[in-house]
Chain A
Amino acid sequence: MGAVAARSAIEREDRRFGWMLMMPGIALLAAVIGFPVIWALNTSLFDYTLIMPGYDNFVGADNYARAFNDGEFIHAAKVTFFFVVAVVLIEFAIGFLVALMLNDTQRGKNIYYLILLCPLLMNPVVVGLIWRMFLHPTLGIVNYLLSTVSLGPVNWLGDAGIAFWTVVMVDIWHQVSFMIVLLLAGLSALPKEPYEAARVDGASALQSFWHITLPLMRPVIVVTLLIRVIFAIKTYDIIYIMTRGGPGVATDLVSYFIYRRAFVGLDLGEACAMAGILLVTVIAITAYLHRSMRAL
């Protein structure tokens, strides 16, 4: 009896010490994440504009209803959906291919690694500026190179049909190494023995990849896709620097649209409601992927 009491006293002490260690982190998170989220969710329930800032006019779910009926918001959501699907799928395909090749590389692996990591280390604003210069219709190097083989000029960021894919391409250039690094880490951690067993069992390289690499990599693939999807949904900086959502609304991603609604349209209440919708969407995707990952 005494021993049990003593043990629970020690456990209580341990728990208190644990809380003490966690408190600074929790306080910081509450200040920089918890407070803004709660503030934004609260604001989304009021008719709060930057012209008349104040919590006098409670409108309930009105801002949410308006957002769902807002054609521009729906359009931005659609563009974002296509953008996310395009960049994540293409980055995954390229990333997996390069990771597979690097996994089999013996010499100079670190050098390849370093080169591939360079874009990821750059600030998105820098990336946007560099590519805006590269893709300038008259002064850019890309159109110059095309002209040397009698092609172009292409209006990369000014043509509504091309601008979306240009932004997709720049995002891939910037982010693909993230996929490579994560997938390569997964590949190099795979056990070697099943491959030898499969070779003796009669599997070709393609069959080994299909029946062994892919199933064994599933958890890593899911996590990689999840992280990339979340980051792609939040893409903002490249759009701000390169197109400002244009031409027209061709590259109007939802993050940039919300920013405009808040600081150009000055309707903070509705912008907060849209941000809330975006947050719920991201949480839903995360929860879904997390659950399917646990089932693996």
Chain B
Amino acid sequence: MASIELRSVSKIYDNGARAVHNVSLEIADGEFMIFLGPSGCGKSTTLRMIAGLETISSGDLLIDGARVNDVDPARRDIAIVFQNYALYPHMSVRDNMAFGLKLRTVPAQEIARRIDEIAEMLDVTHLLDRRPSQLSGGQRQRVALGRALVREPRAFLLDEPLSNLDAKLRAVMRTELIKLHRRLRTTMIHVTHDQVEAMTMGQRICIMRDGEIVQVGAPLDVYRDPADTFVASFLATPPMNLVPARLERRQDGLRLRAPGFEIAVPDSFGSAYASHMEMEVILGIRPEDLHEREADAGPNAQPIPVSIETIESLGPETILTTKTAGGSDLSARVADRSRASVGAGQTLHFDARHLHLFDKETTKLLPREHIL
């Protein structure tokens, strides 16, 4: 097991392209860390630098406190599971799993013991003599995982290993990986662009954009307090509604004036938002904080008149896409028994205790206390 630390790590390719910029991050021993971000945000490159498959242009990479920038991947004692599995096509499953151990001159008996143990754990014992081409996607994924596991490395790096699986298998493997981590307690870094994986699997999420870290934190903390509008709109489906608004102080208290509706801001938020009084801000509303019934929206319920544009019934819940009178789009996640009909006008009720405000210029969150 190992702790991993990145200190101002950057990656600039020979053609001048900047893939990762000044990334600093500490991953504790035994932690399950998620790298989340859109394609091309540098998350895979960061992972590959940790594995030693990419050189580090500047900064330091430390494993268990020792600088390993120039250490060969083989000597870092880290295993990586690739997105397309990267199994050796000409070797049987058993040989695929044994390859790394043979190179490390582990005794044959010990190799056989470890393979049998891991194969049983991953339920691939009956596949040991097959070749990768004879396996399904899910089986290949298990073998790739098994190949990493038999080495008993200090840390596991998982580069979008679930992205090639179908939805059902992905859900199964997600649970398997969580269980595996709980069992092994080995440091794991999981790269993904899937926010469901990010929210459910890791102890912490590191969200990246354009080669930089935007926010690091526990999944629910990041969800509750997104650092900026990028994180707010990236995490969760449908994403947080972002509406331009103006923060005003009136006689009856603080008001947020948005095109087509107004919201009374709870008094307790006053001190937190004092610096942005009478200024343009961005109002963030999570779809689940919009309700059809006023009673569901709590004591600070704020009415927002909208017209319904589409209704997506997902079974347990319904997603409404709506437009306010001012032309802003608002998505709402409501109960399945919605009374909404397309084209009709309706009033949604916003639980103002859960409002988020972002600075219009920097797009950063204006932090405040939570009301439960």
Contacts and interface: CB of A to CB of B under 8 A. Distances in A.
B88 A197 contact: yes
Nearest to B100: A201
B86 interface: yes
19 contacts: A191-B86, A193-B84, A193-B86, A194-B88, A196-B80, A198-B99, A199-B53, A200-B52, A200-B74, A200-B79, A200-B100, A201-B74, A201-B151, A202-B104, A211-B88, A212-B88, A215-B90, A216-B90, A218-B90
Interface string B23-54: 00000000000000000000000000001110
B246 to A, nearest CB: 53
Q: Which 5 A-B pairs have the closest CB atoms?
A: A193-B86, A201-B100, A202-B74, A215-B90, A197-B86
Contacts of A117: none
Contacts of B80: 196-197, 200
A207 interface: yes
A207 B99 CA distance: 11
B231 interface: no
A203 interface: yes
B82 A202 contact: no
B164 to A, nearest CB: 12
A203 B86 CA distance: 15
Contacts of A196: 53, 80, 82, 86
Contact of B103 (A193, A194, A203, A216): A203
With most chain A CB atoms within 10 A of its CB, the pick from B72, B103, B151 is B103
A219 to B, nearest CB: 10
A259 B84 CA distance: 57
Interface of A is mostly: helix
B82 to A, nearest CB: 6
Interface string A77-95: 0000000000000000000
B89 interface: yes
B319 interface: no
Contacts of B86: 191, 193-194, 196-197
Interface string A212-239: 1001101000000000000000000000
B87 A194 contact: yes
Of B87, B99, B151, the most chain A CB neighbours within 10 A belong to B99
Given A197-B87, A201-B74, 15 more contacts: A193-B82, A194-B88, A194-B89, A196-B82, A196-B86, A197-B80, A197-B86, A198-B99, A200-B100, A201-B151, A202-B100, A202-B104, A207-B103, A215-B90, A215-B91
B51 A211 contact: no
B82 A199 contact: no
Contacts of A194: 86-89
A203 B74 contact: yes
Contacts of B87: 194, 197
Contacts of B100: 200-202
B82 A201 contact: no
Interface in B147-191: 147, 151
B89 A202 contact: no
